[in-house]
């Protein structure tokens, strides 16, 4: 299934929306699932806003943690998402009590009426992962367009780390049973870096299918390759999602067209936050 606006609207309904708007600490993709993820986000936003009183920030999506940070540091908050319903639901999770007004725009990240050279910082969590491969250049070009000269980009994206060697399911399961890895890492390692990963990946468009992964995982469980403990840990997270997951260096090469990227010390909360869900901090190129 291809990735487009309609498919994403359909995906983020029902159980997925419920998980996204309830226990964020147990939602592996949420910033609040890792204390150092939260710390790094806040530090980068502070760096981006330095010297800019009442800075203008654009949050891509409904991520409440990111909207909170903008409000906490007295920024003008603008949020854009294809679903106002998700925006309103996640608004209930905002912790900052403020009279500041949030500008919400229901629109596509690729085509929207946002003004050129308007924002000081654009912030997002896993946003490029929800854009089709052939639209990635348009996506980053559009972010570049709405940022002021000297403006900053703060993103965290899932990537394929070429230094990771695929492992057998049994090996990953063993690490989990011996409590060497969190269930977050169990899931990511089996999904992205195992011998069944090719079964849920379309290499032609760098697209991974969550539902195909779970179908493959069930088959391997029936063969006795995966423990019941591992299945119980990850099965509740089963959903029909599709993501674009680019090679780390391909994504960096694309972003370098529009932004001067700066080194970021990655979160050490989990295995996957060290080398697979990575922060990117960039400044607009002229």
Q: Is the model's pLDDT at 84 over the cut of 90?
A: no
Taking the alpha carbons of 142, 147, 150, 153 in that order, is the dihedral positive or negative?
negative
Q: Which pLDDT does position 29 carry in this prediction?
A: 82
Going by C-alpha positions, the residue among 151, 199, 184 that lies closest to residue 274 is 184
Report the percentage of the chain scoring pLDDT > 70. Answer: 91
C-beta of residue 241 within 8 angstroms of C-beta of residue 158: no
Q: Could you tell me the two tokens for 160?
A: 């394929």
Over range 141-166, report the average pLDDT. Answer: 98
Distance CA 279, CA 41 (A): 8
Q: Mark out the alpha helices in the chain (DSSP H runs).
A: 5-11, 14-20, 35-49, 64-72, 84-91, 136-146, 169-177, 183-192, 210-222, 228-234, 248-255, 271-275
Over range 193-215, report the average pLDDT. Answer: 95
- C-alpha of 271 from chain center: 16
Please give the mean pLDDT across all residues of the chain.
91
Q: Is the model's pLDDT at 11 over the cut of 60?
A: no
- pLDDT grade, residue 86 (50/70/90)? confident
C-beta of residue 175 within 8 angstroms of C-beta of residue 233: no
Over range 66-93, report the average pLDDT. Answer: 88
Over range 268-283, report the average pLDDT. Answer: 98
- pLDDT grade, residue 100 (50/70/90)? confident
The radius of gyration of the chain from alpha carbons, rounded to an integer in Å, stands at 19
Distance CA 18, CA 201 (A): 26
107 three-class SS: coil
What are the b/e assignments for 238-261, b being 16+ CB within 10 Å?
A: eebbbbbbbebeebbebbeebbee
Q: Is the model's pLDDT at 49 over the cut of 60?
A: yes
Q: Is the model's pLDDT at 257 over the cut of 90?
A: yes
In the chain, CATH 3.40.50.150 covers 5-159+246-284
Look at 134 and 82; give whichever has higher pLDDT: 134
Write the CB contacts of 261 (distance below 8 Å, at least 6 apart in sequence): 252, 255, 280, 281, 282
Strands 147-158 and 76-81: unpaired
Distance CA 241, CA 33 (A): 20
pTM: 0.91
C-beta of residue 20 within 8 angstroms of C-beta of residue 87: no
- pLDDT grade, residue 239 (50/70/90)? confident
Distance CA 105, CA 57 (A): 13
18-35: per-residue pLDDT in tens?
Answer: 555 556 777 788 899 999
Q: Which pLDDT does position 25 carry in this prediction?
A: 75
Over range 234-247, report the average pLDDT. Answer: 92
Distance CA 113, CA 138 (A): 15
Distance CA 63, CA 126 (A): 10
Q: Is the model's pLDDT at 241 over the cut of 90?
A: no
- pLDDT grade, residue 135 (50/70/90)? very high
- The fold of 5-159+246-284 is Rossmann fold (3.40.50)
Distance CA 226, CA 169 (A): 7
The neighbour count for residue 179, using CB atoms within 10 Å, is 7
Distance CA 83, CA 137 (A): 23
């Amino acid at each position: 299934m291809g990735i487009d606006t309609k498919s994403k609207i359909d995906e983020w309904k029902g159980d997925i929306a419920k998980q996204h708007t309830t226990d964020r600490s147990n939602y592996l993709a949420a910033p609040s699932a890792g204390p150092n993820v939260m710390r790094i986000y806040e530090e980068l936003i502070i760096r981006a806003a330095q010297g800019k009183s009442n800075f203008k920030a654009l949050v891509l999506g409904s991520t409440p943690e990111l909207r909170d940070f903008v409000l906490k540091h007295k920024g003008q908050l603008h949020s854009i998402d294809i679903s106002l319903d998700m925006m309103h639901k996640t608004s209930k999770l905002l912790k900052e009590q403020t009279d500041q007004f949030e500008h919400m725009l229901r629109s596509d990240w690729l085509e929207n009426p946002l003004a050129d050279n308007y924002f000081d910082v654009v912030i997002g969590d896993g946003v490029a992962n929800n854009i089709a491969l052939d639209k990635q250049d348009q996506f980053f070009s559009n972010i570049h367009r709405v940022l002021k000269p000297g403006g900053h980009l703060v993103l965290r994206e899932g990537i394929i780390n070429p230094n990771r060697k695929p492992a057998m399911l049994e090996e990953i399961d063993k690490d989990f049973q011996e409590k060497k890895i969190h269930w977050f890492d169990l899931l990511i390692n089996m999904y992205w870096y195992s011998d069944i990963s090719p079964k849920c990946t379309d290499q032609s468009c760098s697209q991974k299918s969550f539902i195909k992964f779970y179908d493959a995982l069930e088959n391997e469980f029936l063969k006795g390759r995966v423990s019941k403990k591992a299945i119980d840990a990850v099965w509740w997270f089963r959903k029909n999602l599709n993501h674009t997951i680019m090679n780390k260096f391909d994504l960096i090469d694309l972003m370098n067209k529009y932004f001067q990227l700066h080194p970021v010390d990655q979160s050490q909360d989990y295995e996957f936050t060290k080398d697979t869900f990575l922060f990117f901090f960039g400044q607009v190129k002229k």
